[in-house]
A and B are shown apart, each in its own frame.
Chain A
Amino acid sequence: MSASSIPTEDPNVRFSQLDSLMNAMVDAFIVIDGSGNIERFNKAAEDMFGYAADEIQGQNISVLMADHDRAHHDKYISRYRKTGKKKVIGVGREVIGRRSDKSEFPADIAVGEVRGADGSLHFIGLVRDLTELREAQAQSFRQRQEMLNTSRLSTMGEMAAAMAHELNQPLSAIANYSAASLRLLKNENTDLDTIKEALEQINNQAHRASEVIRRTRDFTRSTETRREMTTVPDIMREVLPLAELDAHANNIALEVDIADNLAGIEVDSLQIQQVLLNLLRNGVDAMQGVEPEFRRITVSALYSAPGELSIVVKDQGEGISAETAEKLFNPFFTTKNTGMGMGLAICRTIAEAHSGSLEFRRNPDRGVSFVLKLPTKATG
C-alpha cells in the first residue's frame, strides 16, 4: 500500500484502521512524529526490539539505535526538515539497532514520510532484522575461504601423490630389470638376448616415466591459462561483501578508493579475488589489538605506471619486523598460530602467473601495504 492511497484524515484514525495490518507484518513498522518521538510500534517491532508498544510510545526513536547511529539521527531529521535533503528517505540503509537489553543487531531500514491532515510531518520506518542474513553470509564467507585455501592445497597434494605413484611404477620396473641384468652379467654363460630383452624393457619404462611428467606439466599449464576480461570494480564487487563482514566482525573500518579511469584486465578472476581476500584477511589479522583509532584498512586501485595498475591493501597494524619480512613470501612460513603459511606464497605465485607481482612496503606512518601489480592493455 502506497502512502498516496491512504485517505487524508486524522492520522491516528488512519493508523488504528491499519493496526491489524501492521501487526501482521513480518518487518517492524514504526511511526514517529517530526521530532522523532515514537507514535506507533507494531507487534514485529515489539519482538525485534524487546519493548512493549505502550512503554515505548512517546520516547525518542534514538533509544532504538546504537550510539554511533544515535548521534547522527537528530542531525539527519533537522537537516531534512531544513533543507529537504534526503539521506534515508526512499533509499533505505543499513543501521545497527539496539534492543531493550542493550544488545545490538544489524538492521535494514526504509523510511517514508506522511503528512497529517493538520500538515504535521510523520515518518514511517520499516525495519528488517539482518542478523540471520549476516550470519548466513559470514558462514558462506568462511566456507568459501576454506574452499579456496584447501582446494588449491589439496590439489597440489593430490597431484604430488598421484605423480609419485605413477612414477614409482616405471622406476620399480627399471630397478628390477637393471638389477636382474647386473646379476646375469656376473655369469659368463648368460645369453645376451636375455639382457637385450631387459634393456628394451628399461628403455620402454624410462619413456613411460617421462610421459607421466609430460602429462603432469600439461595439466598444470592448462589450469594456469584460464583468463577472462574483467575490471577491478567487478572483482572488488565479489570481494568486498566478504571482506566487509570480516572487517565489521573485528571492528575495523574498510575504505575503498578505486580510480575510475582503470582499463580492463585479463585475469583469472577467482584467483585474483583469492589474492585480495587473502591480503584483506591478513590486514584484519594485523590489526588485532590495535587501538580503535587506527583500525582502518584501505583498498585502493590506480595506475602505477603505463600499462600497469596496482591494487594496494593498506593496514595500520603493528608492521612487520625485518626478520619476518625476509621470509614473508616463503611457503610454510607463518607468524600465526593457525596458519599453514601458504597464503602469501600462493598469492605471489598467482600474481607472477599473471605477469604481475606482489610486494609489500612499510607505510610512512604505520602498518604495511601490500601491492598487487597487474598488467593492463590500456595506459592510464
Chain B
Amino acid sequence: MKGTVFIVDDDDAVRDSLCFLLKTVDLASQTFTSGEEFLQNYDEEMNGCILLDIRMPGTSGIEVQKKLQELACKLPIIFITGHGDVPMAVEAMQSGAFDFIQKPFRDQELLDRIYQALEAHEADEEEASKEREARNRYSGLTPREKEVMEFVVKGAANKVIAIDLGVSQRTVEIHRARVMEKMEARSLAELVRMSMLLED
C-alpha cells in the first residue's frame, strides 16, 4: 500500500509502539511528538493519513485538525482518543475527521482503519490528479474550441452546433476533433467525465 502514516502523539511509548506495529505490516510511518512539530513539517506533497492523538499538551489534536483544514490539507485524520473523550471525538468527526479509535485498541481494528484511510486518500488523490490534468488540458483550448466542447458534452449534434455558432458543419467537425485531441479523450464518455470534473 502506498502512503505514509503520520503518527502525532506526545507519549513516547504509544508513538514508538505504533511505529513498531506498522513496521510489522510493512506500512511506512513517520512520528511527531507534538501538534506543533507536525504542523511545522507539514507540506502539500505528503501522501497517506494522519494518526492524531486528540489530547496533547500544547496544540491539541482538534486544533491541529483546524489548522490543517485552513491549509486545505486533504490527508484523512484518524483520531486516537482516550477514556471519556467521546464528546471531543464526535466534534472531530463533525469537523470532517475520517475516523476515531479508542485507546487501548486491537491492532487489527487500527490497521483496518488505516488501510481504509489510505485507500480513501489514494482515491481522492487520483480524482484530484485527474481534475488537475483535465484543467491543464482545458486551458489549452481556444475560446471557440471551449464553446464547441460545451455543446458536445451536452449531446448536441454537429449540425445543431454549426447553426448555433453560425459556422459550417465542417468547421465544427474540425474543432471537435481538436477538442478530443487536446483533452486526450478517447471517447465522448471520457470527455463528459472530464467536463464534470471541471464543473466542481
Q: Which residues of A contact B103 (CB under 8 A)?
A: 168-169, 171-172
**B106 x A170 contact (CB < 8 A):** no
Could you mark each residue 172-202 of chain A with 1 if its beta carbon is under 8 Å from any beta carbon of chain B, else 0? 1111110110011000000000000010010
Check A164/B13 contact, CB under 8 A, given A172-B104, A176-B18, A179-B21: no
**B84 x A173 contact (CB < 8 A):** no
**A180 x B21 contact (CB < 8 A):** yes
Alpha-carbon separation in the docked complex, A24 to B143 (Å) = 96
Q: Flag whether B107 is at the interface (Cβ < 8 A).
A: yes
Could you mark each residue 6-33 of chain B with 1 if its beta carbon is under 8 Å from any beta carbon of chain A, else 0? 0000010110111011011100000000
Contacting residue for A172 out of B23, B55, B105, CB 8 A = B105
**B84 x A168 contact (CB < 8 A):** no
Alpha-carbon separation in the docked complex, A165 to B13 (Å) = 14
**B13 x A173 contact (CB < 8 A):** yes
**A179 x B107 contact (CB < 8 A):** yes
Interface residues of A in 207-247 (CB under 8 A from B): 208
Q: Which residues of A contact B24 (CB under 8 A)?
A: 180, 183-184
Q: Flag whether A161 is at the interface (Cβ < 8 A).
A: yes
Q: Which residues of A contact B23 (CB under 8 A)?
A: 180
Q: Flag whether B96 is at the interface (Cβ < 8 A).
A: no
Q: Which residues of B contact A172 (CB under 8 A)?
A: 13-14, 17, 103-105
**A201 x B83 contact (CB < 8 A):** no
Alpha-carbon separation in the docked complex, A204 to B14 (Å) = 12
Q: Which residues of A contact B16 (CB under 8 A)?
A: 173, 201
**A168 x B82 contact (CB < 8 A):** yes
**B83 x A165 contact (CB < 8 A):** yes
**B13 x A169 contact (CB < 8 A):** yes
**A176 x B21 contact (CB < 8 A):** yes
**B55 x A165 contact (CB < 8 A):** yes
B166 to chain A, nearest CB (A): 70
Q: Which residues of A contact B21 (CB under 8 A)?
A: 176-177, 179-180, 183
**A175 x B20 contact (CB < 8 A):** no
How many chain A residues touch the partner (CB < 8 A)? 22
Could you mark each residue 232-266 of chain A with 1 if its beta carbon is under 8 Å from any beta carbon of chain B, else 0? 00000000000000000000000000000000000
**B104 x A175 contact (CB < 8 A):** yes
A264 to chain B, nearest CB (A): 44
Alpha-carbon separation in the docked complex, A179 to B84 (Å) = 24
Q: Flag whether A205 is at the interface (Cβ < 8 A).
A: yes
**B20 x A204 contact (CB < 8 A):** no
**A173 x B83 contact (CB < 8 A):** no
Check A176/B107 contact, CB under 8 A, given A164-B82, A164-B83: yes
Closest Cβ neighbor of A198 among chain B residues: B20
**A175 x B107 contact (CB < 8 A):** yes
Alpha-carbon separation in the docked complex, A164 to B102 (Å) = 12
A193 to chain B, nearest CB (A): 13
Q: Which residues of A contact B11 (CB under 8 A)?
A: 169, 173
Contacting residue for B83 out of A168, A174, A175, A176, CB 8 A = A168
Contacting residue for B20 out of A164, A180, A208, CB 8 A = A180
Closest Cβ neighbor of B10 among chain A residues: A169
Contacting residue for A165 out of B18, B25, B82, B107, CB 8 A = B82
Could you mark each residue 278-303 of chain A with 1 if its beta carbon is under 8 Å from any beta carbon of chain B, else 0? 00000000000000000000000000
Could you mark each residue 46-60 of chain B with 1 if its beta carbon is under 8 Å from any beta carbon of chain A, else 0? 000000000100000
**A170 x B13 contact (CB < 8 A):** yes
Alpha-carbon separation in the docked complex, A173 to B107 (Å) = 11
Q: Which residues of A contact B55 (CB under 8 A)?
A: 165
**A169 x B17 contact (CB < 8 A):** no
Alpha-carbon separation in the docked complex, A173 to B83 (Å) = 15
**A175 x B13 contact (CB < 8 A):** no
Q: Which residues of B contact A164 (CB under 8 A)?
A: 82-84
Interface residues of B in 101-129 (CB under 8 A from A): 103-107
Alpha-carbon separation in the docked complex, A125 to B23 (Å) = 91
B43 to chain A, nearest CB (A): 28
Alpha-carbon separation in the docked complex, A208 to B13 (Å) = 10
**A205 x B84 contact (CB < 8 A):** no
B19 to chain A, nearest CB (A): 9
| Most chain A C-beta atoms within 10 Å of own C-beta, residue among B11, B23, B25, B104 | B104
List 13 additional A-B contacts (Cβ < 8 Å) besides A176-B14, A176-B17, A180-B23. Answer: A172-B13, A173-B14, A173-B16, A174-B17, A177-B20, A179-B21, A180-B17, A180-B21, A183-B21, A201-B13, A201-B20, A205-B17, A208-B13
16 contacts between A and B (CB under 8 A): A161-B84, A164-B83, A164-B84, A165-B84, A169-B13, A169-B103, A171-B104, A172-B17, A172-B103, A173-B13, A173-B16, A173-B17, A175-B17, A177-B20, A177-B21, A204-B13
| Top 9 closest pairs, chain A to chain B, by CB | A179-B107, A176-B17, A173-B13, A164-B83, A172-B104, A180-B21, A173-B17, A175-B104, A171-B104
